[in-house]
Amino acid sequence: MADSIFKAAAIQMVSGHEVEKNLADAGDLIAEAVKQGARLVGLPEYFCLMGRRDGDKVAIREVDGSGPIQDFLSQTAAKHGIWLVGGTAPLETGDPGRVRNSCLIYDANGKRVARYDKIHLFGFQNGTERYDESTTIEAGDAPLSIDSPFGKLGFSVCYDLRFPELYRAFAPVDIIFVPSAFTATTGRAHWETLLRARAIENLAYVIAPAQGGTHSNRRATWGHSMIIDPWGEILACRDEGPGVVIAEIDLSKNAKVRASLPALDHRTLGV
């Protein structure tokens, strides 16, 4: 049975090109979240590495189920007795030049309970910036939601946020995770709007841990990690820099909002 009231945290980081330091920084921030009472914690996309080059993530790829990044996530969850949504980690594929950008979820005993591979791969160019994740990442193909002690959880990663059909594929859920590394350019324009829209249209909490600052590769990420309630209200937010965003989750609010505005029941297309 799900706990109805608890604290959850979104970790904001400014990860660099040294995996060991990133893991240490993540560990310190998770410990701070736990100190503040969090029992469900999410890390941002690329928490373990923001490399100098796109191919750096391929160089540190791990076999599914084995490696220092996965060991860190498992051991940290068990150490603190928390459920940990591990941002993303680069896992091997059959292509030696690409990885899966995988969100790994661990329970309070440190057991991995689920894996979601980012489906939508970011591509953007505006004259001064250019990104093409498909050159180093192999797309996933399966939406994911799971039952947990904290209600039903749904998962997405960064650019997935722009594709509402993904969220409809696993609705209804109680909490949606969106670990991200939004660029400063696209984040300034769209991040908050998209996150609040996903919360409102799915009548669910959204927990969005993000990268937030200027990295050693000179990439600037938007930050503004936040937790949003099912009515679209922002409960907590951190603009930039590493830190912990924490809020109380009350799952009875999902039921109350859905009872007063049963939009999920009123759907007629794509049901």
Flag whether pLDDT at 10 surpasses 90. Answer: yes
Flag whether pLDDT at 48 surpasses 60. Answer: yes
pTM value surpassing 0.85? yes
Domain that holds residue 152: 5-260
Domain membership flag for residue 11: yes
- Under 8 Å between Cβ of 45 and 157: yes
pLDDT range class, residue 128, cuts 50, 70, 90 = confident
- How many structural domains is the chain composed of? 1
Mean predicted confidence (pLDDT) in 216-234 = 97
Percent of the chain with pLDDT over 70: 99
Flag whether pLDDT at 241 surpasses 80. Answer: yes
Domain membership flag for residue 269: no
Domain membership flag for residue 253: yes
Flag whether pLDDT at 1 surpasses 70. Answer: no
Domain membership flag for residue 83: yes
CATH number at residue 214: 3.60.110.10
Domain membership flag for residue 266: no
Closest to 165 in 3D by CA, of 209, 119, 196:
119
Domain membership flag for residue 122: yes
Cite the active site residues.
Answer: 45, 118, 158
Domain membership flag for residue 271: no
Mean predicted confidence (pLDDT) in 30-35 = 98
Interval 69-89: pLDDT, tens: 999 999 999 999 999 999 999
Flag whether pLDDT at 270 surpasses 90. Answer: no
Domain membership flag for residue 268: no
pLDDT range class, residue 271, cuts 50, 70, 90 = low
**Residue-by-residue DSSP string for 100-161:** EEEEEEE-TTS-EEEEEE--SPPEEE-SS-EEEGGGTB------EEEEEBTEEEEE--GGGG
